[in-house]
Amino acid sequence: MRTPAPRALIFGVSISASCLLLHWLGVGLPMLALLAAVFALVALVAPRLPVRWFDHSVYLARAAHWRRENGRHHSFDSIPLDVQDEGALHLRVDGIVACLCSMPDCMQPRVIRLRRYLERELLFPAAERRRRG
């Protein structure tokens, strides 16, 4: 039976040993006062930070994390689609949809799913962005 008790005991012993070492070195009380001041400052200032700054930093971090995958988050049947800005593929999506509608096998389930995916995920959002201006 695994319990968190051994880890908690090791953690407590290591914290106690480090506090004892700091006390023997004569910096335990000043270090504690400094840590208390830093935590108090963070607790006082953090709620007053503008939410907009936090949201912008999250946006920048997300953009930096996904920059290699930008434009490749659309995929159909495990095939990534390279989508450029404003919902335009290298080929025009409306042309692809028209071709899929007029091809001889247009009623196969796979073709219908691809056509509906392109309409739902690319054409409609791009048209909405253009409509909103």
Task: Specify the pLDDT at position 53.
Answer: 82
Task: Specify the pLDDT at position 1.
Answer: 45
Find the distance separating the first CA and the last CA of the chain, reported in whole Å. Answer: 62
d(CA 47, CA 86): 37
* pTM (global) more than 0.75: no
Phi, psi of 75 (to 5 degrees): -150, 150
Q: What is the mean pLDDT of the chain?
A: 77
Q: Give percent of the chain above pLDDT 90.
A: 0
> Is residue 71 pLDDT above 50, yes or no?
yes
The residue extents of the domains of the chain are 5-48, 67-132
Q: Which two tokens stand for residue 39?
A: 């935590």
Span 97-133, pLDDT tens digits = 888 888 888 888 888 888 888 888 777 777 777 777 7
